[in-house]
Structure 1
Amino acid sequence: MSERTRQPTSHERMSGRPWDASYQDGPAPWEFGGPQPAVAQLVSEGAFGGAVLDAGCGSGDNALLIASSGVPVVGFDVAATALARAREKAAEHGVDAEFVAADALQLDELGRRFDTILDSGLFHTFDAGERSQYVVSLASVARSGATLYVLCFSDEEPGAVPHPVSQIDLHAAFAADSGWSVLSIEARRIETRVHESGAPGWLATVRRN
């Protein structure tokens, strides 16, 4: 899969740049050199089990941390530059993780199923129409009873983030008729290269019905 075989997302249309461009001149704004603290806490709690999918993995920091705990991880992204860097990091640190190119809105093409899915910073980049497609796409690769963790920007601090998400937005996207159930939504800080004390975020725990 290449960026030329899919339609640009709403974020790409607004920014006028493909996702890969964010990685070509150095680290992307949302990457700060390590895994998200919220993800690290989940790892320490043993939250990732079975086969794990990291949705929109970027250059792999979260996936590599999860894989280092002994869990099999597949990270996907549309940005070839990010995937190349993720593979380099895995080789550098001797971590066994798989990184593949995939379209988040067409995950059925992976032909695989997962027990735990992480979305760190992808959900909030989609507009309302794309979110409904994304939720269906996620369901196509989630085993029954699978757990999905969504770490996204929140609307708690107006003007602080470019794609704020409300708790209502999360409940609407993962409503009962979507095949998912929201178990909890908790406030978390999201580290970026442009927020000194982190950006306001939500960590939603969602279960595949």
Structure 2
Amino acid sequence: MSRRPTSPAGHPSDHRRQTSHERQAGQSWDASYHDGPAPWDIGEPQPAVARLVTDGGFTGAVLDAGCGTGENTLRVASLGLPVLGVDVAETALAIARKKAAARAIDAEFALADAFRLDRLGRTFETVLDCGLFHTFDAEERRDYVTSLASVTRPGATLHILCFSDVGPETGPHPVSEEELKAAFDSVWNITSISPETLMARFTTDGAPAWRATIKRL
């Protein structure tokens, strides 16, 4: 069964600054789920995440940052690992909890601001970011990376899957390899960046992406 939903102290919508994506879209993250699936919600785990699971990319306590309706969270949790999926979209989290209960998968979901992960009061051995990093502008990325450092210890692993700027049909907010590298400071070490594909409802064959593995020093 799914764990009892939790919320960290301080509701993330209280004084939460609107992200650059929300300003450009003209709506909140939560509103993206009000009229059916969001464009990035494919109704199953991302194939790239499924491969990471198969390849043993997840160990210890796991954080899924920007978990949406929970497909990736639940795939990782099916390994028996303790997994927390966080998002600012309450509608998406409600859907994720229903999925966890229906599938009898033990996963935890909480409302949390990606820029204030320290409010969780927890640390994680592995962090997954599938489709969140690329939605931030350069200033937001710096704050986000600092936030990630607050919930990880030396030796922790961060997996990022984000749209890349390589290819003729890129997804929204594409990121260059140089921009990805520039976002991480001296407490992080990027061990690999490789081409990947992210699936979405707006493309049949997926959009070009980066898969980065980053270690906390």
Q: TM-score, normalised by structure 1?
A: 0.97
Q: Decide which of 51, 55, 78 is 2:61's aligned counterpart.
A: 51
Q: TM-score, normalised by structure 2?
A: 0.93
| Cα displacement (A) at 1:162 | 1.4
| Cα displacement (A) at 1:16 | 0.8
**Equivalents in 1 of 2:13, 2:164: separation in Å?**
28
Is 2:115 the counterpart of 1:98?
no
**Equivalents in 2 of 1:12, 1:127: separation in Å?**
11
More helix per residue: 1
Q: Aligned residues: percent identity?
A: 59
| Cα displacement (A) at 1:4 | 4.5
Any unmatched runs of 5+ in structure 1? none
Q: Is the 8 A contact 2:169 2:208 kept in 1?
A: no
Match of 2:31 in 1: 21
Q: Is the 8 A contact 2:134 2:175 kept in 1?
A: yes
Secondary structure of 2:194's aligned partner: strand
Query: After the TM superposition, which segments of 4 or more aligned residues of structure 1 sit over 4 Å from their partners?
Result: none
Amino acid at match of 1:186: S
Any unmatched runs of 5+ in structure 2? 1-10
Q: Deviations over 1:123-147 (max 9, x none)?
A: 0000000000000000000121100
Is 2:142 the counterpart of 1:132?
yes
Q: Is the 8 A contact 2:195 2:211 kept in 1?
A: yes
Match of 1:188 in 2: 196
Match of 1:207 in 2: 215
Match of 2:91 in 1: 81
Q: Is the 8 A contact 2:164 2:170 kept in 1?
A: no
Secondary structure of 2:101's aligned partner: helix
**Equivalents in 1 of 2:79, 2:108: separation in Å?**
15
**Equivalents in 2 of 1:77, 1:90: separation in Å?**
16
**Equivalents in 2 of 1:136, 1:86: separation in Å?**
27
**Equivalents in 2 of 1:99, 1:16: separation in Å?**
26
